[in-house]
Amino acid sequence: MHMPLEDTLGLNLLAANQHQAEHNRDHFDAWQLLCLNVMSSPGAGKTSLLERTLTALATDLEMAVLEGDMTTQLDANRLEAVGIPVVPITTGRACHLDAAMVSGGLRLLKQRLDPASLDLLWVENVGNLVCPAEFEVGEHRKVALLSVTEGDDKPLKYPVMFREAHCVLITKTDLLPYLPVDIEQIEEHIRAVNPRCAVIRVSASSGEGLETWHQWVREQLTAVVNASVRALVTA
């Protein structure tokens, strides 16, 4: 007869993923690049936005994209056409990217270029407002998109995604004249679950808000690279 024992672990349930995510981020910091994890429901406009953003920022920034999709490389092909290196990550049945998948994508990316030459690494996650919110991939910042066609209630229905985001982009604002939707209400609901995030209204079609969005990206790049340099100096 053996005595029953109890071990207190106090471990994160996702410790295995978290460990890999921190490993990825250590690499990003060593390469002094900013990694952004872009998330939204399917069809919110992630790829269209990235097409515009990559084109605009490519004038002075070196970038690459890890493109997550459950099936097909259609989005990866669209972004590759912009002239930016893209590594497709096909997740199969998985509804989100995890840190190990991104690590695998990085290995493929390293066959094409030296990551230390990059300023920015974009991770376009699988279209889903639930699962990607809980799985860190090593990103420095999370960006969530919400299109005006999805209605104003989504931040309340899927609060974890919007709570975790550092920046929420309200997309497709060019469609507002044709929709019975109140953009002030959308923004109010985002701020109800996350009063601290940046909220930017954008349209990849008309270009509205893109300058503000790109400025936000540049500010994060400066902040993250400065922090990486400081860490190297004090190490």
Partner 1 sequence: MHEIDMTKCLVLSMQQWRQQHAPHTPLVRRVHLQVGSFTCVEPDQLVTTWKAAVRDSWLDGTVLIIETVPLVGRCVVCNTTYEPDPEQAYRSPCCDHPMEEIVSGRELRIRSVDYVLNDSAQPTFATATAV
Task: Read off the tokens for 2.
Answer: 């053996």
Residue 138: which of 215, 66, 90 has the closest Cα?
A: 66
Whole-number Å distance between alpha carbons of 224 and 39: 20
Beta-carbon-side half-sphere exposure of residue 182 (alpha carbons within 13 Å): 6
CB of 1 vs partner 1, minimal distance in Å: 9
List 74, 116, 179, 192, residue binding partner 1 (CB under 8 A): 192
Residue showing tokens 């250590």: 26
Region of 105-113, 158-166, 169-177, 213-221 interacting with partner 1 (CB under 8 A):
158-166
Q: Does 130 bind partner 1 (CB under 8 A)?
A: yes
Whole-number Å distance between alpha carbons of 201 and 204: 10
Interacting residues with partner 1 between 95 and 124 (CB under 8 A): 95-96, 98
> 3-state class of 36 per DSSP?
strand
> Taking CB under 8 A as the rule, which mask of x and - marks residues 196-215 in contact with partner 1?
x-------------------
> 3-state class of 235 per DSSP?
coil
Q: How many residues bind to partner 1 according to rule CB under 8 A?
A: 39
> 3-state class of 84 per DSSP?
coil
CB of 4 vs partner 1, minimal distance in Å: 6
Q: Does 5 bind partner 1 (CB under 8 A)?
A: yes
Q: Does 8 bind partner 1 (CB under 8 A)?
A: yes
Whole-number Å distance between alpha carbons of 144 and 166: 8
Strand partners, 107: none
Neighbours of 83 (CB within 10 A): 10
Region of 29-37, 40-48, 81-89, 188-196 interacting with partner 1 (CB under 8 A):
188-196
Region of 66-74, 112-120, 128-136, 172-180 interacting with partner 1 (CB under 8 A):
128-136
CB of 15 vs partner 1, minimal distance in Å: 5
Q: Does 11 bind partner 1 (CB under 8 A)?
A: yes
Contact of 104 with 89, CB cutoff 8 Å: yes
Residues lying near partner 1 in the complex (CB under 8 A) are found at: 2-17, 93-96, 98, 130-131, 133-135, 156-157, 159-160, 163, 188-189, 191-196
